[in-house]
């Protein structure tokens, strides 16, 4: 039984690897690699100790969250990736839904440059990458689908939520959180969990007023 489960897991991993390979090849994207957090180059030095490593999300992880959020029936204006790295989540989102605007927020300039090169090859005119600390990023007005792939610690997330509290109150925005290590921070800020998969640790959260 144990051997069968282990074999199933290996087959699933191989399928995910092939899917990611095909996705990146199809759009000529360079999203590969792993960069330890202490090796990330950034001018936002105060945020560096709170950063996680760079690693691209898998298509499977973001697909699960987009499939679930579609069930809410909310029409989103923007897709925002906080800690966008080389941009993979933004390109996947663009492929799945005609967002008016897609913004990747990344605090490491070299990663922003790679994401912009990827965007030129991907060929969409509504995808933008900005070099900023997510803690001080202001959401645009409208319904935002805010994506996080475990980018940083609770303190950055808390600052982002505090400075965008009005935007969340005034819209039907949703936070899609892959590898949701600091999801309790969202509950403390007044968000309810719309969906969570305990196995993948992906979840969706929405601010509920009243």
Ligand X SMILES: C[S@@+](CC[C@H](N)C(=O)[O-])C[C@H]1O[C@@H](n2cnc3c(N)ncnc32)[C@H](O)[C@@H]1O
Binding site for ligand X (CB under 6 A): 40, 47, 51-52, 54-57, 81, 83-85, 88-89, 105-108, 111, 133-135, 149-152, 156
Considering the complex, what minimum distance in angstroms separates the CB of residue 12 from ligand X?
19
Considering the complex, what minimum distance in angstroms separates the CB of residue 160 from ligand X?
8
Considering the complex, what minimum distance in angstroms separates the CB of residue 147 from ligand X?
7
Please choose, from the candidates 134, 107, 103, the residue with its C-alpha nearest in 3D space to the C-alpha of residue 119.
103
User: Which CB sits closer to ligand X, 89 or 185?
Assistant: 89
User: Which CB sits closer to ligand X, 27 or 152?
Assistant: 152
3-state class (DSSP) for residue 134? helix
Considering the complex, what minimum distance in angstroms separates the CB of residue 175 from ligand X?
13
User: Which CB sits closer to ligand X, 76 or 105?
Assistant: 105
Residue 186 near residue 161 (C-beta atoms within 8 A):
yes
User: Which CB sits closer to ligand X, 136 or 170?
Assistant: 136
User: Which CB sits closer to ligand X, 156 or 185?
Assistant: 156
Residue 138 near residue 164 (C-beta atoms within 8 A):
yes
Considering the complex, what minimum distance in angstroms separates the CB of residue 130 from ligand X?
9
Q: Please tell me the distance from the alpha carbon of residue 116 to that of residue 112, in angstroms, as a whole number.
A: 6
Return the residue nearest ligand X (CB atom): 83
Place of tokens 């805010």: 146
Please choose, from the candidates 32, 205, 49, the residue with its C-alpha nearest in 3D space to the C-alpha of residue 133.
49
Structure tokens at 140: 């645009």
User: Which CB sits closer to ligand X, 76 or 92?
Assistant: 92
DSSP H helices in the chain: 2-26, 59-70, 88-96, 109-122, 154-163, 165-169, 183-188
Considering the complex, what minimum distance in angstroms separates the CB of residue 196 from ligand X?
18
Q: Please tell me the distance from the alpha carbon of residue 135 to that of residue 55, in angstroms, as a whole number.
A: 20
């Amino acid at each position: 039984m144990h051997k069968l489960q282990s074999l199933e897991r290996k087959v699933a991993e191989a399928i995910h690897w092939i899917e990611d390979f095909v996705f990146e090849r199809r759009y000529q994207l360079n999203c590969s690699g792993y960069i330890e957090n202490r090796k990330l180059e950034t001018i936002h030095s105060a945020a560096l100790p709170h950063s996680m490593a760079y690693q691209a999300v898998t298509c499977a992880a973001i697909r699960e969250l987009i499939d679930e959020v579609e069930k809410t029936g909310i029409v989103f204006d923007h897709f925002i990736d906080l800690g966008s790295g080389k941009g993979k989540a933004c390109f996947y989102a663009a492929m799945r839904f005609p967002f008016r605007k897609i913004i990747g927020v990344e605090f490491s300039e070299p990663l922003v440059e790679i994401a912009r090169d990827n965007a030129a090859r991907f060929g969409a005119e509504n995808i933008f990458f900005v070099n900023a600390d997510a803690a001080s990023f202001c959401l645009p007005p409208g319904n935002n689908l805010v994506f996080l792939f475990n980018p940083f610690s609770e303190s950055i997330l808390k600052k982002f939520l505090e400075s965008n509290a009005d935007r969340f109150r005034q819209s039907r925005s949703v936070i899609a959180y892959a590898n949701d290590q600091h999801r309790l921070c969202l509950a403390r800020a007044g968000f309810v969990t719309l969906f969570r998969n305990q196995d993948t640790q992906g979840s969706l959260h929405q601010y509920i007023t009243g």
